[in-house]
């Protein structure tokens, strides 16, 4: 039996996936989750709340719960997926396109005052958490089987506890980290998964271009972007 954990920061990022009657809603205080088990794969879908702290708490909670609770038959997790929307940093990405985090970093981690590289947490060897190549290939294959009218790019996703909506911040994230897209949780999930030795995937749909128009665009495109992503996510799962 495979076990996949899917986490969105907001309810609207996971609701298209769990609607339709296949999932049962359950409690795991302080979280709730949706569970589907078809005998081959058990899928646990939950909402973390926005930001890196909330995501870290949620990921660790479910990794520990699934590994120890009789309800999950002591299964370990095969893959943790972070789904949701992101702002485009690369000019090649448009609203509705999909970005896969080949690697994740935190653009707001700054210990440069002590001589460390920007983005580096002194407890780690690298600014970046790398996604397993086999996971990235699986997503590429799923995308190719879909005949999609949106594009998919694989590259760096930068996370931080900030909604990015200015040219200056965008340029900082692009030149400092070579990021394709920005959001507020992915690198936190990647860090906790790495610490636990669990494979992860951060996959996001572009809702805005992280510029002055971002707040308006975010509200207009959020739902449409999630529809594209949900179709792909169902294939991946
Ligand atoms: N998620 C979606 N758009 C974003 C943005 N512009 N900044 C941070 N997180 C986002």
Cα 179 to averaged position of ligand 1 atoms, centre (Å): 13
Segment among 10-24, 42-56, 102-116, 186-200 with least mean pLDDT: 10-24
Is 146 a residue whose pLDDT tops 80? Answer: yes
Query: Which residue is catalytic, options 183, 208, 211, 231?
Result: 208
182 lines ligand 1 (CB under 6 A): yes
* pLDDT score of 1: 87
Q: For residue range 15-74, list pLDDT tens digits in order.
A: 999 998 899 999 999 999 999 999 899 999 999 999 999 999 999 999 999 999 888 876
Could you give phi then psi for residue 65, rounded to 5 degrees? Answer: -60, -50
CA of 112 to the centre of ligand 1 (A): 24
What's the mean pLDDT in 205-215?
94
| Dist. CA 162 → ligand 1 center (Å) | 8
Tens digit of each residue's pLDDT (9 = 90 or more) over 120-144: 999 999 999 999 999 999 999 999 9
pLDDT at 84: 97
81-93 average pLDDT score: 97
Region 165-175 average pLDDT: 97
DSSP code string of 135-180: HHHHHHHHHHTTT-SS-EEEEEEEE-SS---SHHHHHHHHHHH-EE
Task: Give the mean pLDDT of 112-117.
Answer: 98
- Ligand 1 pocket test: pick from 85, 88, 172, 213 the residue with the most ligand atoms within 8 Å of its Cβ: 85
Verify whether residue 208 is a known catalytic residue: yes
168 CA → ligand 1 middle, Å: 15
Q: How far is CA 220 from the centre of its chain?
A: 20
Distance set, CA 35 to CA 19, 28, 64, 66 (Å): 12, 11, 16, 12
Packing angle of the helix pair 52-68, 186-196 (nearest 10 deg): 30
Q: Catalytic one among 13, 97, 174, 183?
A: 13
Q: Which of 8, 9, 55, 87 to mutate to test the pocket of ligand 1 (most atoms within 8 A of CB)?
A: 87
Q: Is the minimum distance from the CB of 226 to ligand 1 under 6 angstroms?
A: no
Structural element, H or E, at residue 195: helix 186-196
**Contact between 208 and 87 (Cβ < 8 Å):** yes
Tell me the CB-side half-sphere exposure of residue 167, using CA atoms within 13 A: 0
Q: Which residue has the higher pLDDT, 67 or 88?
A: 88
CA of 46 to the centre of ligand 1 (A): 20
Q: What is the pLDDT of residue 2?
A: 92
β-pairing, 179-183 vs 200-208, is unpaired
- The residue contributing the CA closest to ligand 1 atom 4 is 87
pLDDT band at 221 (very low <50, low <70, confident <90, very high): confident
Q: What pLDDT, on a 0 to 100 scale, did the predictor assign at position 70?
A: 87
Upstream peptide bond of 29 is cis (omega within 30 degrees of 0): no
Among this protein's residues, is 110 annotated catalytic?
A: no
């Amino acid at each position: 039996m495979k076990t996949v954990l899917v986490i969105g920061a907001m309810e609207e990022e996971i609701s298209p996936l769990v609607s339709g009657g296949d999932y049962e809603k359950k409690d795991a205080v302080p979280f709730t989750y949706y569970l589907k088990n078809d005998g081959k794969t058990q899928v646990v879908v939950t909402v973390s709340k926005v930001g890196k702290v909330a995501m870290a708490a949620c990921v660790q909670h479910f990794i520990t719960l699934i590994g120890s609770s009789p309800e999950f038959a002591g299964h370990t997790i095969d893959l943790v997926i972070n789904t949701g929307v992101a702002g485009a940093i690369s000019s090649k990405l448009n609203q509705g396109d999909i970005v896969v985090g080949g690697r994740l970093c935190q653009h707001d981690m700054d210990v440069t005052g002590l001589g460390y590289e920007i983005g580096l947490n002194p407890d780690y060897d690298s600014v970046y958490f790398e996604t397993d190549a086999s996971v990235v290939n699986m997503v590429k294959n799923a995308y190719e089987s879909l005949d999609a009218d949106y594009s998919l790019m694989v590259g760096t996703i930068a996370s931080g506890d900030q909604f990015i909506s200015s040219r200056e911040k965008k340029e900082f994230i692009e030149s400092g980290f070579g990021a394709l897209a920005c959001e507020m949780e992915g690198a936190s999930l990647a860090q906790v998964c790495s610490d636990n030795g669990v494979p992860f995937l951060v996959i996001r749909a572009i809702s805005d271009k992280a510029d002055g128009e971002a707040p308006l665009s975010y509200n207009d495109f959020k739902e449409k972007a999630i529809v594209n992503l949900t179709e792909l996510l169902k294939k991946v799962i």
